[in-house]
Amino acid sequence: MANMRIATWNINGLRARLDFLRLWLRDRRPDVVGLQELKLGDEIFPYAELEAEGYYTAVHSQKAWNGVAILSRVKPEIRQQGLIGQEQMGARLITASVGPLDFGTVYCPNGKHIGHPDFLLKLSWFECLTRFIREEYSGKDSFVLCGDFNLCPTLLDSWNEPLLKGQIFHTDEERTRFQELLCCGLFDVYRELNPDGKMFTWWDYRAGSFHKNQGLRIDLLLATRSLTSRIDRIEIDREYRKKKADLVPSDHAPVFADLRE
């Protein structure tokens, strides 16, 4: 496997962010990218525009909500679109073979708040995801699962854990299910390389949260041990959480890592 740059980004509306995405693709030149929260149907997905940038696409879309895609320099072969039994939760998962790499991206449910019925649906969705990964990818040497997981995996992944502990994204129930997912043979690449790091990937648009660095690390690259051991660098791309000319960014920063041969 040649050197490869893998990435994940919750784009928060591909139609509104297409020019911003194209700028980032030209600048960072990733080989494989998982996108989340596309918010558009397949009939208006910008296949031609992304092909012009040198990317094939595999898409699981949904009009106005959710939606995930894989962009790749080599043509991806789709393996799975959506979680079986979780169709009511929308278009939230796609996996594909990308050359020698197995690659998946997810947009996990938000859950709203712990008293909301969606919170239990979120926990159930995670359990279903874990079963799927265990059944389909356990024992695979070259598997990446990336995306917006809508939870803070550890205490370090929140700007204010003491204030927010027990609230959505910060509950023991969410973190327990995330750990069960990791038990399928996956490793949180950022945390493996930065055991004491405190950087975030999402900041609310309101109240100057980005400039105050009041954020959460919820966008993750997970990988098998054989891949994680070949990654020396992972970057939370804060530069592309900033406005570019008249282009408005997503509220999430891209995350990318370089996988050596």
Count: domains in the chain? 1
Give residue 139's pLDDT.
Answer: 87
* Residues 167-203 pLDDT 10s: 999 999 999 999 999 999 999 999 999 999 999 999 9
Give residue 2's pLDDT.
Answer: 61
Residue 107 annotated as catalytic: yes
Of these residues, 31, 55, 102, 107, which one is catalytic?
107
pTM exceeding the 0.85 threshold for the entire prediction:
yes
Q: Is the pLDDT of residue 138 over 70?
A: yes
pLDDT confidence bin for 147, thresholds 50/70/90: very high
Of these residues, 31, 148, 188, 219, which one is catalytic?
148
- Please give, one letter per residue, the 3-state secondary structure of the chain: CCCEEEEEEECCCHHHHHHHHHHHHHHHCCCEEEEECCCCCHHHCCHHHHHHCCCEEEEECCCCCCCEEEEECCCCEEEEECCCCCHHHCCCEEEEEECCEEEEEEECCCCCCCCCHHHHHHHHHHHHHHHHHHHHHCCCCCEEEEEECCCCCCHHHECCHHHHCCCCCCCHHHHHHHHHHHCCCCEEHHHHHCCCCCCCCEECCHHHHHHHCCEECCEEEEECHHHHCCEEEEEECHHHHCCECCECCCCECCEEEEECC
Residue 148 annotated as catalytic: yes
- Average pLDDT, stretch 55-70? 97
Residue-number span of the structural domain to which 190 is assigned = 4-259
Give residue 22's pLDDT.
Answer: 98
Give residue 244's pLDDT.
Answer: 96
At 228, which CATH number?
3.60.10.10
* Residues 82-134 pLDDT 10s: 999 999 999 999 999 999 999 999 999 999 999 999 999 999 999 999 999 99
